[in-house]
Chains A and B, each alone.
Chain A
Amino acid sequence: MNYIEPHAHMVSRTTADYQAMAMAGCVAICEPAFWAGFDRGSVEGFRDYYRQLTEYEPARAKKFGIPHFTWLCINPKEAEDAGFGREVLSIIPDFLDAPTVLGIGEIGLNKNTKNELAIFEEHVALAVKHDLPILIHTPHLEDKLKGTRLIVDSLKNANVDPGRVIIDHVEEHTAGIVLDAGFWAGMTLYPESKCTPGRAIDILETFGNENIWMNSACDWGISDPLAVAKCSIEMKKRQYTPELIQKVVFDNPKKFLSQSPNFRI
């Protein structure tokens, strides 16, 4: 079945992963900017990363017939140094006209600090100024509940259209907070933390199939670039119709992402 991978960190993956995703039916990959596993030493390190995201990865994906799109930001871990965060933020507009940029992301919180929140709010203002959708990372493990609440409160205060914001990595305790406030929700199929396929389907059964997508968030950690394809098999085992599976793995992400004029498949 054709599917969209709406959140994958392909800079951390091999070319064989692109090949496997193409064979599994992946018809579009969207790559948010994130923490590379270590703190970068300079603004120029980010400029190179944004070039990788806007020039090199689209070319690598194209070899397998997959359109590659990206979201730009400085991630919350490195934004804890707010001065550095602002320097990096100042170069992002240089890349916003690139033809595969979808919006600002994945911004958010990591340890729910004041500096992270300040840089988060500056990213939101940048997105509003350029009329771009927003993709949001919620914190890990014990920090997720608090971080999700802080993010939702901040976005409400900023009067952002919730239909143009996806809040990712929801789990059972945060999905309702996000969806009830009118935002889109992303479920991440990631071993050890976040959701298993079984739990992601439970969340669909509990919270409904509207305004929600699933992704692998495959990166440099133990993760699976085929997680969405595997979850669609799990949905079949749970007696989902082909139409409903397609809605979750293709139609929903296409609907949200199509709010970016650059998203075309």
Chain B
Amino acid sequence: MPTKTDILDLYFMDSRYKLLDIAAYLDRLDRHDGELDFRQRGFDKALAAMQAPPTGKSRAQAVLEALSDHSTEPADAATIQFAFGAPQDS
């Protein structure tokens, strides 16, 4: 099994650049006019969930669950064919 140092060697630079991309994306949203919508509210919840995942959940699970529809009944009909990436009630 790889050690923490092995994982850092493999993934630190890649994760560093992805982190910076998220920071720059949030700055970009701040800089531009208009309104945020449910997608960014879901994103903010996911960021918080990543920092403090519920007991028994990994960070990745917490992020995915923050960005999931938690309703349980089948929908009456499809109004769109695609998915947004965050639930519309975020």
Q: Which residues of A contact B (CB under 8 A)?
A: 77, 80, 110-117, 139-146, 149-150, 171-173, 198-199, 202, 206, 237-239
Q: Residue B84 at the A interface, CB < 8 A?
A: yes
Which residues of B, 52-90, contact A by the 8 Å Cβ criterion? 58, 60-61, 64-65, 67-72, 74-87
- What distance in Å separates the Cβ of A122 from its nearest Cβ neighbour in chain B? 15
Q: Residue B33 at the A interface, CB < 8 A?
A: no
- What distance in Å separates the Cβ of B38 from its nearest Cβ neighbour in chain A? 10
Are A237 and B58 also in contact (CB < 8 A) when A113-B78, A142-B68, A143-B69 are? no
**Which residues of A lie under 8 Å from residue B72 when comparing CB positions?**
146, 149
| 10 A-B pairs whose Cβ atoms sit less than 8 Å apart in the complex | A110-B81, A112-B69, A116-B74, A141-B67, A144-B68, A172-B64, A173-B61, A237-B10, A238-B2, A238-B10
Determine which of A77, A112, A172, A237 lies in contact with B81 in the assembled complex, contact meaning CB atoms within 8 Å.
Answer: A77
Determine which of B2, B6, B69 lies in contact with A146 in the assembled complex, contact meaning CB atoms within 8 Å.
Answer: B69
Chain A binding surface, main DSSP class: helix
**Which residues of B lie under 8 Å from residue A141 when comparing CB positions?**
67, 83-86
Mark contacts of B1-39 with chain A using CB atoms, 8 A cut-off: 1 yes-contact digit, 0 otherwise.
Answer: 110001000110000000000000000000000000000
Q: Report yes or no: B68 in contact with A173, Cβ–Cβ below 8 A.
A: yes
Determine which of A146, A198, A199 lies in contact with B68 in the assembled complex, contact meaning CB atoms within 8 Å.
Answer: A146
**Which residues of B lie under 8 Å from residue A112 when comparing CB positions?**
69, 74-75
- What distance in Å separates the Cβ of A105 from its nearest Cβ neighbour in chain B? 19
**Which residues of A lie under 8 Å from residue B65 when comparing CB positions?**
145, 173
> What number of B residues sit within 8 Å (CB to CB) of A?
31
Chain A residue with Cβ nearest B42: A142
Q: Specify which of A77, A171, A172 lies most central, judged by the most chain B CB atoms within 10 Å of its CB.
A: A172
Determine which of A114, A142, A239 lies in contact with B75 in the assembled complex, contact meaning CB atoms within 8 Å.
Answer: A114
Chain A residue with Cβ nearest B65: A173
Q: Specify which of A116, A142, A145, A171 lies most central, judged by the most chain B CB atoms within 10 Å of its CB.
A: A142
Are A173 and B75 also in contact (CB < 8 A) when A111-B80, A142-B86 are? no
- What distance in Å separates the Cβ of A216 from its nearest Cβ neighbour in chain B? 20
Q: Report yes or no: A146 in contact with B64, Cβ–Cβ below 8 A.
A: no
Q: Report yes or no: B74 in contact with A145, Cβ–Cβ below 8 A.
A: no
Chain B residue with Cβ nearest A39: B81
Q: Report yes or no: B78 in contact with A111, Cβ–Cβ below 8 A.
A: yes
**Which residues of B lie under 8 Å from residue A80 when comparing CB positions?**
77-78
- What distance in Å separates the Cβ of B47 from its nearest Cβ neighbour in chain A? 16
Q: Report yes or no: B74 in contact with A150, Cβ–Cβ below 8 A.
A: yes
- What distance in Å separates the Cβ of A109 from its nearest Cβ neighbour in chain B? 8
